[in-house]
Amino acid sequence: MFKVAIPIFHVSDSSAALKFYCDQLGFRHEFSHRNVETQSDPCYSGISRDGTWLHLSSFSGDGVAGGVANIVVDNVDALHKEFVAKAVAIALKPVNQTWGTREMYVKDADNNCLRFQQL
């Protein structure tokens, strides 16, 4: 039985990625692992928001930059308002898609894309 899937985004700078995801997108930093604790990279981190998890890794071989994760949310427009207030660059403003969802896209510095979808 499947329980959950957790996307891994490859990031080039783990400190900058954590700052973006936590300070601007509202995720909570859950854990980080480094082979050398005194170096910021490479690093493997887990973040969560409202029960949704993402993993961020600057280790070679973990994911590829430019990945995509679809995240189903209750209200895309409220999330858009929250992100605009935090000066988050929006790649695609809320739009009603022909396939029946309302969506907004946000990209990080490594071109990983979060597609927020309201069903």
Q: Write down the pTM of the prediction.
A: 0.95
How do the domains of the chain map onto residue ranges?
8-118
Is residue 81 pLDDT above 90, yes or no?
yes
Is residue 49 pLDDT above 90, yes or no?
yes
Is residue 63 pLDDT above 90, yes or no?
no
DSSP string, the chain: -------EEE-S-HHHHHIIIIIIT--EEEEEE-SSTTSS-S-EEEEEETTEEEEEE-STTS--TT-EEEEE-S-HHHHHHHHHHTTPPPSEEEEE-TTS-EEEEEE-TT--EEEEEE-
Per CATH, which fold does 8-118 belong to? 2,3-Dihydroxybiphenyl 1,2-Dioxygenase; domain 1 (3.10.180)
